[in-house]
Structure 1
Amino acid sequence: MLRKIQKENMGTSNLGWLESRFHFSFAQYFNPSNMNFGVLRVLNDDIIHPNSGFDTHPHDNMEIISYVVKGSITHKDSMGNQETLNRGEVQYLSAGDGIFHSEHNLHEEDLRLLQIWILPPRKNLEKLYGSYRYKKEQRTNKLLNIVSSDKQNSKVNIYQDVNIFVSELDKSKVIDYKIKKNRQIYFVQIEGSCQINDVILNEGDALEITKDDNLSISALEDSHFLFIEMKEE
């Protein structure tokens, strides 16, 4: 079953320095019927304007992945990590019993990123931080597994049993993906447009995929997308 969520029906926020689209309840957007999709708790499509960002703040018991779409993000945290990442690169942390961090755009162009929060399998796990600088050719006209559990072979491993894939698909190219039994998918159209089976997604739209066994993803124009595969609820 495929359920389309149009970007116009998502929560939004504009704080001046930050423009956000909320796929699930977050901050001032609260919808009790839209709290999560399986272990996916938060997916925010953020635009952070130049020379601004999230000052130091805490997190605990959440696994957080940032996927950079445009511009550069600079991270600092209470474990002593500090680095800057660019388009297509991935930063992650498992906050365990508590971590402080900041995320800033220190450059003169807008930063766009997807912030993805995954519920961990249990509380107070050992804290993790890391990143990986994936290359464009790794995701061009193919699926790139950018995040997985530590039992899989992605370059980025978190505790929860999820797989996150991205692709930049040229117009008219097609990718098929086989969904294993008792798994479900949340699909995000980042840029461009695609047809997934018989559903068309435009930039910013999303798709919940349950009780299905195969996806045929066809690029209607040059297209950039991400999806998160996980256990069924």
Structure 2
Amino acid sequence: MIERRPFEQLGGADHGWLKAKHHFSFAGYNDSKRMGWGALRVWNDDTIASQTGFPPHPHANMEIITYVREGAISHRDSLGNEGRTVAGDVQVMSAGSGITHSEYNLESEATRIFQIWIIPDEQGRPPSWGTKPFPVDNRSDRFVVLASGIKGDVGALPLRTDARVLGATLKAGQTVHYTLDKQRYAYLVPAKGAVEINGIRIDARDGAAIRDETALEVKALEDAELVLVDSNP
């Protein structure tokens, strides 16, 4: 089953400095049919105006992945961590027993991110944060694991959950394959470009909710940048 979730039909909010679209229920958007997908709980498509951002606020017991699509995001937290994550790169914050953080766009232009939350396997562990570059060119014509809690996923940022976040870039006409356990859930969003997943068209920033599939064939209808989450039920 592959269900297309068109971008224009997503929930969302316009706060002026922040324009957000929500693939799942979040903040003021509530849809009882879209409370998550497997362990995936949140997928927000955020555009953050220059010199604005999220002031310090707390989180606990959630794996929070930030995929930067354009611009850069500057992070600071109560553990003393500071960092700047640029387009194409990823940061992971394991909120654990509790952490306070801020995320600002200190750039001269808007920053666009995917913010992805995944439910952890265990609660109450010490919080942590990390960031890592993942050059887009290194993902050409293949899926690369960006963040993972699955044994054997070498080189990925660590997650505390039975899930992985992957990225790929395709030129128009190229095809990439992904094998999925039938019991698991997948959610794919093209950051850029249109693709077909097993023959079903998914446009830029649409969501594709996938389950009961064991093999994905993703064909680029135009140059595309993909983000995929593979999680336990």
- Matched with 2:222 is 221
- Mapping of 1:27-66 within 5 angstroms? 27-66=27-66
Please, which runs of 5 or more residues in structure 1 have no aligned partner? none
Inter-partner Cα distance in structure 2 for 1:59 and 1:184: 25
- Matched with 2:85 is 85
Partner of 2:191: helix, strand, or coil? strand
Deviation at 1:145, TM superposition (A): 0.7
Amino acid at match of 2:20: S
Q: Which aligned segments of 4 or more residues in structure 1 are displaced greater than 4 angstroms?
A: none
Could you report, residue by residue, the CA deviation over 1:67-108 in whole angstroms, capped at 9, with x for unpaired residues? 000001000000000011111111111111110000000111
- Matched with 1:160 is 161
TM-score calculated relative to the size of structure 2: 0.97
- Matched with 1:185 is 186
Could you report, residue by residue, the CA deviation over 1:37-83 in whole angstroms, capped at 9, with x for unpaired residues? 11111100000010000000000111100000000100000000001
Q: How many residues align?
A: 232
Inter-partner Cα distance in structure 1 for 2:168 and 2:63: 22
- Matched with 2:12 is 12
- Matched with 1:69 is 69
Partner of 2:87: helix, strand, or coil? coil
Please say which of residues 149-158 and 183-192 is displaced more in the overlay: 149-158
Partner of 2:156: helix, strand, or coil? coil
Amino acid at match of 1:92: V
TM-score calculated relative to the size of structure 1: 0.97
Partner of 1:186: helix, strand, or coil? strand
Inter-partner Cα distance in structure 2 for 1:179 and 1:122: 24
Inter-partner Cα distance in structure 2 for 1:80 and 1:227: 30
Inter-partner Cα distance in structure 1 for 2:185 and 2:41: 14
Amino acid at match of 2:213: D
Inter-partner Cα distance in structure 2 for 1:40 and 1:149: 13
Contact 1:148–1:154, Cα closer than 8 Å, also in 2 = no
Please say which of residues 16-25 and 125-134 is displaced more in the overlay: 125-134
Deviation at 1:17, TM superposition (A): 0.3
Inter-partner Cα distance in structure 1 for 2:44 and 2:167: 16
Amino acid at match of 1:67: Y
- Matched with 1:96 is 96
Partner of 1:121: helix, strand, or coil? coil
Deviation at 1:150, TM superposition (A): 5.6
Inter-partner Cα distance in structure 1 for 2:155 and 2:126: 19
Contact 2:150–2:163, Cα closer than 8 Å, also in 1 = no
Inter-partner Cα distance in structure 2 for 1:33 and 1:182: 20
- Matched with 1:176 is 177
Inter-partner Cα distance in structure 1 for 2:34 and 2:143: 28
Inter-partner Cα distance in structure 2 for 1:114 and 1:204: 10
